[in-house]
Amino acid sequence: MNSTHLSKRLQAVSDHVESGSRLADIGSDHAYLPIYLAKNHIISYGVVGEVAKGPLSNAISEIKKAALLAILQPRLADGLAAIQPNDNINVITIAGMGGNLIRHILEAGRAKLTGTEKLILQPNVGEDTVRRWLMTNAYQIKAEQILAEDGHIYEIITAVKVPQKVSYTEKELKFGPFLIREKSPVFIEKWQEEVRLLERVISNMQKASHKNTQKINLISDEIQIIKGVISRES
């Protein structure tokens, strides 16, 4: 992967960025995504935020190689602190992190959010944590995508701030309000694997000398919920 040929995951993230956007990419990983978007004239301006000097140095090197320092601003900062008011950012991407870390970045940086930005979030795990933060803070999920790459399954969530209260069911928070309706083959694959994992957990717990019946029942209930969601009839 490089700034010319993105990974399938980052290409999918880039597809959610509209032409003419002013981007802040937080935790940019060599700045591949913003460089690609700038090279293809999809963004007119970008902030590349890194919390550590090593990754920032890598990003600066890639931006210089692409001759894009006039468009892309690399900054050493923690999360959304990389954004300044005169940047006029209208798209924020946070990709390739755990859901808890993404939630923390959004929560810690709430003062930097004007409410006009589109959030494009790609948690590696803990997607429900991200969705719950969005709901609590009146962000409406506008699109979701799920894809498989190199043995991993990734979800992309895009959201915008809305004036009214946002409400999602527990199932929608867990599975995704769009994904649960679409039930793509990758979605089915993800949750079938989760069922297999939970069934192995129960099997191991039942072999223990002191069974935790309450925990076993809770996991069994979770398995039934997942099976109900991924069944073709539901």
* pLDDT at residue 234, rounded to an integer: 53
Q: Domain map of the chain by residue range?
A: 8-167, 186-230
Edge-first strand listing for the sheet containing 139-149: 72-76, 43-50, 21-26, 91-97, 118-123, 152-161, 139-149
Confidence grade of residue 14 (pLDDT, cut at 50, 70, 90) = very high
Q: Does the structure show a pLDDT above 80 at 233?
A: no
- Of 113-127, 181-195, 209-223, the poorest mean pLDDT is in 209-223
> Is CATH 3.40.30.10 correct for 8-167?
no
Q: pTM of the entire structure?
A: 0.94
Residues ≥6 apart with Cβ < 8 Å to 165: 138
* pLDDT at residue 77, rounded to an integer: 97
Of the candidates 32, 94, 86, the one whose C-alpha atom is nearest the C-alpha of residue 58 is: 32
CA–CA distances in Å: residue 202 to residues 99, 217, 218: 25, 9, 10
* pLDDT at residue 209, rounded to an integer: 80
What type of residue is 37? L
**Structure-token pair, residue 32:** 């591949």
pLDDT tens figures, 41-83: 999 999 999 999 999 999 999 999 999 999 999 999 999 999 9
Q: How many CB atoms lie within 10 A of CB 147?
A: 16
φ/ψ (deg, to 5) at 30: 70, 5
